[in-house]
Structure 1
Amino acid sequence: MKRCIIVGAGDYFGIPIELTEEDYIIAADAGYTNLKKSGIHPDLLVGDFDSMHIDGVAGTTGPVKDLDIFEDAEKADYIHHLRKLKVDGIETKVIDPVKNDPDMMACVRLGLDQGFTEFHIIGGTGKRIDHSIANLQILGFLASRGCRGYVYNEFQIITAIHNESMKFPAEMKGYFSALAISDRCRGVTEKGLKYIVNDVELQNTMPTGISNEFVGTEAEISVKDGTLLLIYDQMKVHKFSCCK
């Protein structure tokens, strides 16, 4: 399956997955600087360029507008009317810095518009905890639309499932946590892990679900109603299967 790889300006530890020629790589603003460290040429550069200066781009939008931040939040038709230019020969789309979406969300919307259903977000965590949390919300946004997203930090992977199950192979090791991102997650079941969980309800105001463990058998997590964040240790093998 073709994947959309988005690299942001957060903490960067290289590309944790093996890239293929079919992968579509988007640099989110100063994520381009991170990609340069790995010698990777993105297919698209997107941003308002508040964190990476481009001559003639940043600061050209005029005075702050009277903006309703929820106006057109779902449709987000702005992605079809972005200013286009070339930076280092790379197709570039410029976002107005007075906007609803952070750069990462704009990149996701552009990927969805091209038909991608699997997204890998690298450089999406770090010193800006607000941006880190926003990127986890993006995982919930994708899961609720039948897509799959992954956020990587140095040691862990975070994804989300919505009204579905996810299986992990027996070779998985380390900790596994499941946290509610929707108000309530009903019918949560965890099988094949150190602690067996059967048809419970998790809430996003309680940190229940931290630090289960893989034990060398195939594991499965499922939720009947709601959106769960799944956090687990990185492995070189990335073989997971999901079903509604």
Structure 2
Amino acid sequence: MKRGLIVAAGEGVPPRLLQALADESDLVYAVDGGYRHCQAAGIAPDLLLGDMDSLGIPPEETGVPFERLPCEKDDTDALYAARRLLAQGVERITLACALGGRLDHMLGNLGVLCFLLEQGAAGRIVDSRCCAEAFAPGEHTLKKEGYNLFSLFPLEGACEGVCIQNAKYPLERYRLVMSFPIGVSNEFLLGDARVSFESGKLLAIRLKI
């Protein structure tokens, strides 16, 4: 499976983690000010793209291939980067430095996970404390992998028939809605948790506390 990494301009992640994510990726795209995070981690991205409003220097000075996007457009820079990676045959996309900072940008990046799910690709947002993934109906394993907690949210409308197993707070065929966030702060037990649901789109966030 071909892997891609999008480095956004949100709150940075530790350079060592960003380097590890880059090492496991076939293509690395820096989105606008995300180039500075790449610099701090010693990463030379394959492409710098965006409207360059948060880069801080002319893109020509980076020495990296770049694509300047118009300021007025329908796609966010991160969504455009995701589309471009899919066009390159990438099937699994990680977003880093995509949380914190502006709340609207963070929600937009969660929207990128929805987009990737609809395209049949795997997507995740990773930082030093959490990993966010979007799931389609079916059965899924939430790997513990050093995480302590996990939270579940419906991404569009309600998630029907939600079941949670091997967790402190199990559920059985529950209708999960955003107005009653019962899925927040569940706890892993000894191993991986199992989640299934029948309809909707589900956001799963694993956290280290």
Q: Please confirm whether the aligned pair reaches a TM-score higher than 0.5, indicating the same fold.
A: yes
Instruction: Pick one of 84, 93, 103 that aligns with 1:119.
Output: 93
List alignment gaps of at least 5 residues for structure 1. Answer: 58-85, 236-244
Pair 1:45 & 2:48 matched: yes
Larger Rg: 1
- Tell me if structure 2 keeps the 8 A contact 1:48–1:95: yes
SS of the residue corresponding to residue 116 of structure 1 reads coil
Match of 1:72 in 2: none
Match of 2:5 in 1: 5
In structure 2, how many angstroms separate the alpha carbons of the residues matched to 1:231 and 1:22?
Answer: 22
Range 17-26 or range 142-151, more displaced = 17-26
Change (3 A) 1:21 1:183: closer
SS of the residue corresponding to residue 90 of structure 1 reads coil
In structure 2, how many angstroms separate the alpha carbons of the residues matched to 1:177 and 1:49?
Answer: 34
Report the AA paired with residue 106 of structure 1: Y
Q: TM-score, normalised by structure 2?
A: 0.90
Matches within 5 A, 1:194-205: 194-205=168-179
Pair 1:223 & 2:182 matched: no
In structure 2, how many angstroms separate the alpha carbons of the residues matched to 1:100 and 1:191?
Answer: 40
- Tell me if structure 2 keeps the 8 A contact 1:182–1:204: no
Give the percent of matched residue pairs that are identical in Structure 1 and Structure 2: 32
Instruction: Pick one of 159, 168, 171 that aligns with 2:133.
Output: 159
Q: TM-score, normalised by structure 1?
A: 0.78
Match of 1:60 in 2: none
In structure 1, how many angstroms separate the alpha carbons of the residues matched to 2:134 and 2:204?
Answer: 6
Pair 1:183 & 2:157 matched: yes
List alignment gaps of at least 5 residues for structure 2. Answer: none
Matches within 5 A, 1:1-244: 1-14=1-14, 16=17, 18=20, 19-20=22-23, 22-55=25-58, 88-169=62-143, 172-233=146-207
SS of the residue corresponding to residue 105 of structure 1 reads helix
Report the AA paired with residue 170 of structure 2: I
Cα deviation 1:86-136 (Å, max 9, x = unaligned): 653322111110111111111111111112121111111122000001111
Report the AA paired with residue 224 of structure 1: E
In structure 1, how many angstroms separate the alpha carbons of the residues matched to 2:178 and 2:11?
Answer: 26
Number of residues paired by the alignment? 206
